[in-house]
Amino acid sequence: MSKPKVILTRKWPAEAEAKAQELFDVVLNEDDHKMSVEELKAAMQNADAVCPTVSDFQINEEILGVDGRTCKIVSNFGVGFNNIDTDAAKAAGVVVTNTPEVLTDCTADIAMSLLLTVSRRVGEGERLVRDKQWDGWCPTHMLATKVTGKKLGFIGFGRIAQAVAQKAHFGFGMEISFYDPYPPADEVIKKFSATQLDTVEDVLEGADFVTLHCPGGGSNTNLMNAERLGMMKNSAFLINTARGDVVDEPALVQALKDGVIAGAGLDVFAKEPTVTEDLLSMENVVLLPHLGSATTETRVAMGLRSLANVKAFFDGDEPGDRVA
């Protein structure tokens, strides 16, 4: 019996690619180029399964509706799946899966890294040393913001947010508050002595740090706009490891310039890999190139999870991570 044909839209870690070659008739992206819309359409016409990533063009109605489509499952390499039009996939009868859980800890690590780096001015200090501009220790040099014991507010309180809370509350004694329309079980809230609030605005008004853990797209586009940024303390910091479009970047630039908030730590951007130009020269912003899940262990695990979903589908089982 022939193996299902699977196309990987980007280069994967070697261990995950080897597993793909073992399980399927797989086509690899050897030079790791970003596939064009025409290439994605061709993939839909020439494979039984396509495994895309967040960095691809959106898998939309045009791509899913291409004539002669043979693809039956789109198995995303990533926990977020706003790079796939799930309504169009449902209409076309194409299954969609993602890769939750396996990237939780590493993404939470990056959120805490951003929080610490921006509040303690680590990026500024590192640049100062590299530029040979540091002239020695003194009592008032590069005074920053203490983290331990401060109030950390969450917009969204799912798996990754809870992993951040674990580090922040038990490691740094931070007080946890959150807003989530789908809150976790009471025992989770009690574990962190967390305060559940009724609105996004309630979180913003009381927090020393605000960290975003909500889906991108839809009604969450520009969730953090000028009005909401204005509700934060002028001593507060915004951290985003969720999706770039959750933050109105021009509004964030203005808020940072005007001292509406103290700083921001960003791992994601609205139009990746393009970053709003003004952010690049700001010392009170830490910018990372979407590193949330970027450890070898996690990226391998994401690939294996994506492949497991494809295997389950062609074995006649329900994929464990089906989202559409």
In 47-143, alpha helices (H): 61-64, 86-92, 104-119, 122-130
CA–CA distance, 27 with 10 (Å, rounded to integer): 10
Q: Is 141 a catalytic residue?
A: no
Active site residue 124: no
Calpha distance 53→60 (Å, rounded)? 13
The residues, ordered by sequence, that sit 6+ positions from 94 with a Cβ below 8 Å of its Cβ are: 64, 69, 71, 72, 73, 74, 324
Q: What is the DSSP letter of 221?
A: T
The one catalytic residue among 62, 205, 272, 297: 272
Which one from 205, 290, 297, 322 is the annotated catalytic residue?
Answer: 290
Whether the link from the prior residue into 273 is cis, omega within 30° of 0, is yes
Please confirm, yes or no, whether 33 is among the known catalytic residues. Answer: no
203 class by beta-carbon count within 10 Å (0-12 exposed, 13-18 middle, 19+ buried): buried
Pick the catalytic residue: 243, 249, 299, 305? 243
Cα(28)–Cα(21) distance, integer angstroms: 9
Number of H helices, E strands in the chain: 12, 12
User: Could you give the residue numbers annotated as active site?
Assistant: 243, 272, 290
